[in-house]
């Protein structure tokens, strides 16, 4: 992968055009050399230049850093020098005494937007799918190419942190203008003309911070008004992070506040030092590994069998409840016409109403969804996704009835979270075209989809399922058909450990807080309330019955006793049933149910509680790998983080196991102390 700049000087306008042999420009070695030589030529040709346009020949303006360079773990001093060199050349560009405008012909994220911020004016392209932003925090990094320094000087400390830096927002073109990181928009065909017009109208352009008398919007920390609000920022950040150890947001805040109090060049050095400290740390390596390299491998088809590419053209979604409506929305959002089927038109219409709520900002999405109560309306659908109640007989009946109606080669998929796909597939003639597509709730927000391969699923069908998940812009995770699949088993290890701790007398508030501070997005008791206690209770009963019928061992988990007492003895079945581990007063915050005081015992140390969550899930992950449920690699790490909330800072359960010294020995200690569920296979 090599990025370069094409230099053209015509009619007094110097145009620097990014190119890349891969098709996507990045801040690689070629970019660094090309930027330096292009800026050198600008200064050499200064007398002939009236303005500069920076644009790209690719569909994407500039993708950002070449993260493979960070993966090679360069020494801190070398990385500091490399980043400082890029920033020096960007600084030479923005202090060139001619107007410099960025013609952003496509997406500019991270380093791509930072290059644009070093220009005096930014014109974005008004096209669907284009994004602008600084999402480095999502990779455990900060914008190290001047992003923190410039955005703070453009927007002020508070706006820069909240609107651009701390949450890593990816803005649509219109929202980027609202946020202040893009100045105006133009149609693709008008982009370069708009850039030339701006140059002609602004011959004396310069960055605001390079003009006499410049002051940062909102002031520096010495400003009395800002001094009153700024001290609350660290506490607010800690609350948002829930006490978990994510150093990037804290480093961003520090670089922004410290950099606002010094001159531009010093602020740049402060930013670089924080960037290098993050980039050379383990957490950034973990998060980059999961959210860049692993996701890239999945999107390029790492677990997809060799087969012709396929696109669905018309989707049948069976079941218009919460899951079905969410799946219909996801498909329609990707431009697919959807037939939403339920037991009656009235029930299906309620599902459409839910789709409309999800699509409230883009009502045209809901127009692609047609509700129906008639199976005959599924004729011609080449993709079927069933999302009815978790009842094997009901699902099989539906598939048997619809198979002759839909397209003769339709892909048939069930959204079950636990029922064996191989068993469900026996209801149809074309078992080779039957797969599991396990979506996660809420579907409109959750990215992963677990693709389950049944005993007779063909490679072609698996490949089509993979393509469909990518088509609706979600993340495919491929697993084999075993009871509980992968994500449900590893999720179960987390929530059951929380219940086991409760049974040992650990206060519920301590259990929840320990999970949050370990990096889980929600505590095990709270998340169980959301999915309902009846679901794991019912699954346990079914598993016990299957174990007896099929003659396999179902290991006892101490958390199951707590689950049974909650459902059978206390009638606490979860939020939807009025309350579970928590009470849910109307129009008030939820509170822990006082009846949990019925569980008593010796308790457990806070740090060991966190260990037990992590180790229990890693052990279950390794069992899934050993049993052939899932292949070790990207699907495991990404699937665990995105679908069941395994702490993102770890990079996934396999990375966590590899990077903790003495992990296996500690797992053996926990197994001796608490049970075989911690025993590694």
- Compute how many other C-beta atoms are within 10 angstroms of the C-beta atom of residue 626: 11
**What are the tokens at 375?**
């199976």
Q: Cα separation of 515 and 512, whole Å?
A: 5
Transcribe 436-477 into DSSP letters: EEEE-SSTTT--EEEEEE-TT--HHHHHHHHHHHHHTT-EEE
What whole-number distance in Å separates Cα of residue 547 and Cα of residue 553?
6
Is 611 in the active site?
A: no
User: What percent of the chain is helix, strand and coil (3-state, nearest 5)?
Assistant: 50, 15, 35
What whole-number distance in Å separates Cα of residue 409 and Cα of residue 308? 15
Phi-psi label, residue 110: left if phi above 0, alpha if psi -120 to 50, beta otherwise: left
Cis preceding linkage at 442, omega within 30: yes
669 catalytic residue (yes or no) = no
Sign, CA dihedral 579-585-588-594, equals: negative
HSE at residue 639, side-chain half, CA atoms within 13 A, is 32
Q: Which of 114, 403, 611, 620 is catalytic?
A: 114
Return the structure tokens found at 457.
Answer: 């699923």
Q: Which one of 131, 136, 450, 512 is the catalytic residue?
A: 136
378 within 8 A of 404, measured Cβ to Cβ = no
235-266 b/e with 16+ CB inside 10 Å = b?
Answer: eebeeeebebebbbbbbbbbbbbbbbeeebee
Question: Rounded CA gap, 435 and 383, in Å?
Answer: 11
Q: Alpha-carbon distance 445 to 364, whole Å?
A: 19
User: What distance in Å separates the CA atoms of residue 635 and residue 443, rounded to the nearest whole number?
Assistant: 19
The pair of structure tokens assigned to 169 is 């927002």
Contact 533, 572 (CB under 8 A): yes
Active site residues: 114, 136
């Amino acid at each position: 992968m090599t990025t370069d700049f094409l230099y053209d000087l015509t009619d007094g306008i110097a145009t620097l055009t990014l190119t890349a042999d891969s098709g996507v420009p990045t801040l690689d070695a070629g970019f660094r050399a090309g930027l330096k030589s292009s800026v050198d030529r600008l200064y050499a040709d200064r007398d002939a230049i009236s303005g500069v346009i920076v644009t790209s020949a690719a569909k994407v303006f500039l993708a950002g850093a070449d993260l493979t360079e960070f993966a090679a773990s360069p020494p801190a001093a070398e990385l500091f020098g490399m980043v400082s060199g890029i920033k020096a050349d960007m600084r030479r560009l923005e202090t060139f005494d001619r107007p410099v405008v960025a013609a952003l012909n496509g997406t500019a994220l991270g380093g791509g937007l930072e290059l644009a911020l070093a220009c005096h004016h930014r014109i974005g392209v008004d096209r669907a799918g284009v994004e602008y932003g600084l999402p480095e925090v999502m990779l455990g990094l900060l914008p190290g190419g001047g992003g923190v320094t410039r955005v703070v000087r453009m927007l002020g400390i508070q706006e820069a942190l909240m609107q651009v830096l701390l949450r890593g927002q990816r803005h649509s073109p219109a929202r980027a203008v609202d946020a202040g990181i893009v100045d105006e928009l133009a149609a693709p065909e008008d982009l370069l003309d708009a850039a030339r017009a701006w140059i002609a109208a602004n011959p004396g352009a310069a960055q605001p911070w390079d003009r006499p008398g410049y002051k940062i919007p909102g002031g520096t920390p010495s400003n009395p008004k800002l001094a009153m609000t700024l001290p609350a920022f660290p506490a607010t950040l800690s609350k948002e992070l829930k006490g978990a150890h994510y150093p990037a947001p804290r480093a961003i805040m520090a670089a922004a506040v410290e950099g606002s109090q010094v001159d531009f060049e010093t602020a740049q050095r402060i930013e670089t030092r924080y960037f290098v400290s993050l980039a050379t740390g383990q957490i950034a390596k973990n998060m980059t590994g999961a959210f860049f390299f692993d996701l890239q491998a999945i999107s390029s088809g790492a677990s997809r069998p060799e087969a012709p590419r396929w696109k669905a053209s018309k989707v049948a979604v069976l079941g218009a409840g919460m899951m079905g409506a969410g799946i219909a929305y996801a498909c329609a959002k990707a431009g697919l016409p959807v037939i939403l089927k339920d037991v009656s038109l009235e029930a299906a219409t309620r599902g459409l109403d839910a789709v409309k709520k999800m699509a409230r900002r883009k009502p045209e999405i809901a127009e692609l969804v047609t509700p129906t109560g008639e199976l005959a309306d599924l004729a011609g659908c080449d993709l079927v996704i069933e999302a009815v109640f978790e009842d094997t007989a009901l699902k099989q009946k539906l598939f048997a009835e619809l198979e002759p109606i839909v397209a003769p080669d339709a892909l048939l998929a069930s959204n079950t979270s636990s029922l064996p796909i191989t068993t469900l597939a026996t209801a149809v003639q074309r078992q080779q075209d039957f797969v599991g597509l396990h979506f996660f709730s809420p579907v409109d927000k959750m990215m992963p989809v677990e693709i389950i391969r049944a005993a007779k699923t063909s490679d072609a069908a698996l490949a089509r399922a993979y393509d469909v998940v990518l088509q609706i812009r979600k993340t495919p995770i491929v697993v084999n058909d075993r009871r509980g699949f992968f994500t449900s088993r590893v999720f179960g290890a987390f929530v059951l450990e929380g219940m086991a701790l409760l049974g040992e007398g650990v206060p519920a508030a301590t259990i929840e807080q320990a999970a949050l501070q370990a990096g889980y997005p929600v505590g095990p008791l709270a998340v169980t309330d959301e999915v309902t206690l009846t679901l794991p209770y019912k699954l346990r009963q079914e598993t016990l019955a299957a174990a007896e019928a099929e003659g396999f061992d179902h290991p006892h988990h101490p958390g199951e006793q707590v689950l049974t007492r909650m459902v059978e003895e206390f009638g606490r079945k979860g939020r939807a049933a009025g309350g579970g581990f928590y009470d849910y007063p109307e129009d008030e915050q939820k509170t822990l149910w006082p009846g949990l005081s019925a569980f008593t015992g010796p308790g457990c140390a806070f740090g060991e509680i966190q260990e037990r969550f992590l180790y229990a899930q890693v052990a279950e992950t390794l069992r899934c790998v050993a049993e052939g449920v899932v292949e070790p690699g990207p699907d495991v790490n990404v699937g665990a983080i995105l679908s069941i909330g395994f702490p993102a800072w770890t990079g996934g359960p396999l990375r966590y196991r590899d990077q903790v010294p003495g992990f296996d020995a500690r797992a053996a200690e926990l197994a001796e102390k608490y049970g075989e569920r911690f025993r590694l296979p």
